[in-house]
Amino acid sequence: MDVSELLDGLNDKQRDAVAAPLENMLILAGAGSGKTRVLVHRIAWLMQVENASPYSIFAVTFTNKAAKEMRTRVEETIKSSVGGMWIGTFHGLSHRILRAHHSEAKLPESFQIIDSDDQLRMIRRLLKALNIDDKKWPAKQVSWYIGAKKDEGLRPKDIKAYDQNEQMLLRIYTAYQEACDRAGLVDFAEILLRCFEVLNNNASLLRHYQDRFPHILVDEFQDTNTVQYAWLKLLAGKTNNVMTVGDDDQSIYGWRGAKIENIRRFLEDFSANTIRLEQNYRSTATILKAANTLIANNSERMGKNLWTEGNKGDPISIYAAFNELDEARFIVGKIKEWKNQGKNLIDTAILYRSNAQSRILEEAMLHEGIQYRIYGGMRFFERQEIKDALSYLRLVNNRQDDAAFERVINTPTRGIGNKSIGLIRECARNESLPLWYAAHSLIEQKQLTGRAANAISSFISLITHIETEIKDSVLAEQAKFAINHSGLMAMYQAEKGEKARSRIENLEELINACSQFELPDEEDFSSPLSGFLSHVALESGEGQADEHDDAVQMMTLHSAKGLEFPLVFMAGVEEGMFPSQQSHDDSERLEEERRLCYVGITRAMEKLFISHAESRRLYGQEKQHAPSRFLREIPDDCIEEVRIKTQVTRPQASNRFSNAVSTAAFEETGFKLGQRVMHKKFGEGIVLNYEGSGSQSRVQINFLDVGSKWLVTSFAKLQAI
DNA sequence: AGCCGAGCCTTTTTT
DNA sequence: AGGCTCGGCT
């Protein structure tokens, strides 16, 4: 390939970055400035101009999606496969190192990864076992504490607890870590910290990796936390070259440990030069001016001003809605106009600060028959039924896996009640044994009564049976066997309702996912099963299975980072919502909210609508909110206020019937989600929801009409239309 | 083991 | 308000 191809079509700054000499560098890349392109071309440049072997390149991202995109784009550019190159997420690459050196890391070969839900369950159990009041030390808060300490690179021994509260947290952290170690489990933060420690404590190992990877590239550098930074510094050593790409103005993850100051530290520690990418290829000049002016209110910036060769474009429209229903109606109305111009829904996004805001918007979309897709929520591999099935496989893979044991010991129910499980836990604690072996020992020592002993024995033989039967099968067959013979499938088949049906589909999809799975041959797994289990833990899958071809994209501002849309709506831009109430009195958090707003604005390519509601129902109460301060920070000449032309009708109070009906009763009626129906008294509506809430089988049916919502129980009053 | 009401909590999310 | 968990009851 002609080297000039790598520079053609790039602007001067991009070219400087791609063709920079071999030294440490910070690329301050503004929104929409083509940073992925620069990274990809830089990798190609290293290979083609600097004669770097693919084996010498190490590229780190935060998300699997970003890693995948980088991989494909590098392959497209160099027109060959990137074998030998390490491209992956912080967690993925750290995990890879841990697998290869599990004994140095003091981990069993069959170690597995637990997600935050598993972690929470483990902590809950621990609190109970240690007889700690979970009102005073809620599991959520404990897991947050442990995660935060690990992100800081701190082990219990490194922490000095100043008050009683922290002493307790520390005690739980210690116990939690012991439990994880005993079970051969690592949580997400542990992957990073443990990998750092292995390299830090093992000079020859570290040297091996330092020698292998002279070229290190890091994406979204502003999101790195303390351990990630230390890890990079370790790998870089004194001689390797690090190129970091990031944008301090888009740092929005401080609340989960990201250290924006790592950018400045990097400049100092690595004596790095800075290249600014400020030319924007995404948005109109108006949108960029609004974003620039807004973000200028933050202090301690690296400094950056986005510009474009493009047009001024339309002004940003600001709509002062009467309330959240009016806001939703306005947005849906504008989307309909867009659609009627023959444009695509997929090019539009509604962004909001918190997930709770999506419901009203969703109802309005459904009411008007506009297809939408909501991002966020449960991912495939996090679903209950999937985790149940995986837990059987995990237990087969590693008998020490207490988290998996707890999950399936009585799922489906097999007569092992809380009492027996309590005995097993107690024995495990006293003998410092994994639950599996504790159960064994209790039975051998005849410390369990007849029925319970039988039930536990048969559970033990079930797992052993599954293991022997699937030993020689391919992965998909293994999963299929476990799902069927554990009784999981039968359990969900016996359940009624829409939910159970989709669970069965998901279990089938899991088998399908197994057959699609390719074991990466360059990684060290003890078995394909072990590889698959790690894969699903590190990549939890897509949020929603059902994707419409053309649908409005709805998501939080956080999940919009990195994306772009011709038409963008930012909803709920009010004091108390955005910036959120919790950030009001803290200037650092306020600045992060402002960066979030900056991220939101810079998602828009052609047209941006911002709306705020004067009154909004929040936590069951009507709240009056002033327009967000961020609106005042956008220059007037970028804005057009949308005046209300017709009088807004106040929404009717919601009419509500209590009394729930069962799923079965609903299904007998033959009504379907989204169906239009007529109510004898209240008129036309749409069936929005008939799922029970939580584990309860109660059913809600909501109807929407002029913004009111009813819970209806009497189907006699309904008629399909 | 399943059903149901009381009570509690409520920003953002990836791995 | 709405979703979820817990504990008591059948």
Q: What is the CATH number of the domain that holds A600?
A: 3.40.50.300
Q: Is residue A106, in this structure, part of any structural domain at all?
A: no
Give A621 CA → C3 C1' in Å.
Answer: 16
Residue A711 pLDDT class (50, 70, 90 cuts): very low
At A698 the pLDDT is: 39
Same domain, A420 and A560: no
* A659 sits within 7 Å of strand C by its CB: no
Q: Which of A13, A14, A35, A226 is catalytic?
A: A35
CATH of the domain at A436: 1.10.486.10
Which pLDDT tens digit goes with each residue over A526-535?
999 999 999 9
Same domain, A423 and A323: no
How far is the C-alpha of A225 from the C-alpha of A24, rounded, in Å?
19
Same domain, A88 and A208: yes
Q: Is residue A285, in this structure, part of any structural domain at all?
A: no
Of the candidates A118, A106, A275, A278, the residue with the CA atom closest to the CA atom of residue A193: A106
At A4 the pLDDT is: 80
At A706 the pLDDT is: 38
A450 known member of a binding site:
no
How far is the C-alpha of A458 from the C-alpha of A414, rounded, in Å?
9
Average pLDDT over residues A604-629: 93
Active site residue A289: no
The tokens describing A55, both together, are 């084996």
Of the candidates A48, A45, A47, A40, the residue with the CA atom closest to the CA atom of residue A73: A40
pTM (2 decimals)? Answer: 0.88
Name the residue with the least CA to C1' distance from nucleotide C4: A694
Q: Which residues pair with A679 in a beta bridge?
A: A683, A718
A32 known member of a binding site:
yes
Query: Does A710 score more than 50 pLDDT?
Result: no
Active site residue A603: yes
Q: Who wins on pLDDT, A711 or A66?
A: A66
At A246 the pLDDT is: 97
How far is the C-alpha of A591 from the C-alpha of A256, rounded, in Å?
15
- A229 conformational bin, left if phi > 0, alpha if psi -120 to 50, beta if neither: alpha
CATH of the domain at A127: 1.10.10.160
A622-629 contact pairs (CB < 8 A, 24+): A623/A576, A625/A574, A625/A575, A625/A576, A625/A577, A626/A574, A626/A575, A627/A320, A627/A573, A627/A574, A627/A575, A628/A573, A628/A574, A628/A575, A628/A577, A628/A578, A628/A579, A628/A597, A629/A575, A629/A579
Of the candidates A603, A593, A587, the residue with the CA atom closest to the CA atom of residue A573: A593
Same domain, A362 and A389: no
Residue A672 pLDDT class (50, 70, 90 cuts): low
* A709 sits within 7 Å of strand C by its CB: yes
Query: Does A674 score more than 70 pLDDT?
Result: no
Helix extents (H) in A624-684: 629-632, 663-669
Same domain, A35 and A163: no
**Phi and psi at residue A415, to the nearest 5°:** 75, 20
- A579 conformational bin, left if phi > 0, alpha if psi -120 to 50, beta if neither: beta
The tokens describing A613, both together, are 């509601």
Q: Is residue A400, in this structure, part of any structural domain at all?
A: yes
Q: Is residue A274, in this structure, part of any structural domain at all?
A: yes
Query: Does A417 score more than 80 pLDDT?
Result: yes
Q: Which of A220, A278, A324, A593 is catalytic?
A: A220
* A617 sits within 7 Å of strand C by its CB: yes
Q: What range defines the domain where residue A709 resides?
A: 647-720
Q: Is residue A494, in this structure, part of any structural domain at all?
A: yes
At A2 the pLDDT is: 67
CB atoms within 10 A of CB A495: 13
Query: Does A62 score more than 70 pLDDT?
Result: yes
Q: In which residue are the tokens 């392109």 written?
A: A37
Percent of all residues in chain A with a pLDDT value above 70, rounded to a whole number: 88
At A649 the pLDDT is: 37
The closest nt to A617, taking CA to C1', is C1
The closest nt to A694, taking CA to C1', is C4
Of the candidates A658, A721, A716, A714, the residue with the CA atom closest to the CA atom of residue A685: A721
Average pLDDT, chain A: 88
Same domain, A219 and A337: no
Of the candidates A337, A379, A331, the residue with the CA atom closest to the CA atom of residue A351: A331
Average pLDDT over residues A654-658: 34
The closest nt to A691, taking CA to C1', is C3
Q: Is residue A243, in this structure, part of any structural domain at all?
A: yes
Same domain, A563 and A661: no
A342 known member of a binding site:
no
Query: Does A132 score more than 90 pLDDT?
Result: no
Q: Is residue A45, in this structure, part of any structural domain at all?
A: yes
Q: Is residue A153, in this structure, part of any structural domain at all?
A: yes
CB within 8 Å of A39: residues ≥ 6 apart: A59, A70, A217, A219, A243, A245
Residue A502 pLDDT class (50, 70, 90 cuts): confident
Same domain, A502 and A438: yes
Flag the least confident range among A172-176, A192-196, A513-517, A711-715. A711-715
Residue A715 pLDDT class (50, 70, 90 cuts): low
Q: Which of A15, A16, A36, A523 is catalytic?
A: A36
Domain count, chain A: 5
Query: End of a domain among A601, A623, A641?
Result: A641
Average pLDDT over residues A53-74: 96
Residue A650 pLDDT class (50, 70, 90 cuts): very low
Active site residue A220: yes
Give A4 CA → C3 C1' in Å.
Answer: 58
Name the residue with the least CA to C1' distance from nucleotide B8: A135
Kindly calculate the radius of gyration of chain A based on its CA atoms and give it in whole angstroms.
28
Query: In this structure, which amino acid lies at residue A269?
Result: D
Distances (CA, A) of A219 to A66, A88, A259, A271: 9, 10, 14, 19
The closest nt to A620, taking CA to C1', is C1
DSSP string, A498-546: HHHHHHHHHHHHHHHHHHH----TTS--SSHHHHHHHHHHH----S-S-
Query: Does A593 score more than 90 pLDDT?
Result: yes
Average pLDDT over residues A132-143: 88
Could you give the 3-state DSSP secondary structure of residue A110? coil
At A549 the pLDDT is: 80
Bases in strand B with any atom closer than 7 Å to a protein CB? 1-5, 10-15
DSSP string, A386-425: HHHHHHHHHHHH-TT-HHHHHHHTTSS--S--HHHHHHHH
Q: Which of A14, A61, A250, A700 is catalytic?
A: A250
| DSSP structural state of residue A582 | G
Query: End of a domain among A508, A534, A560?
Result: A534
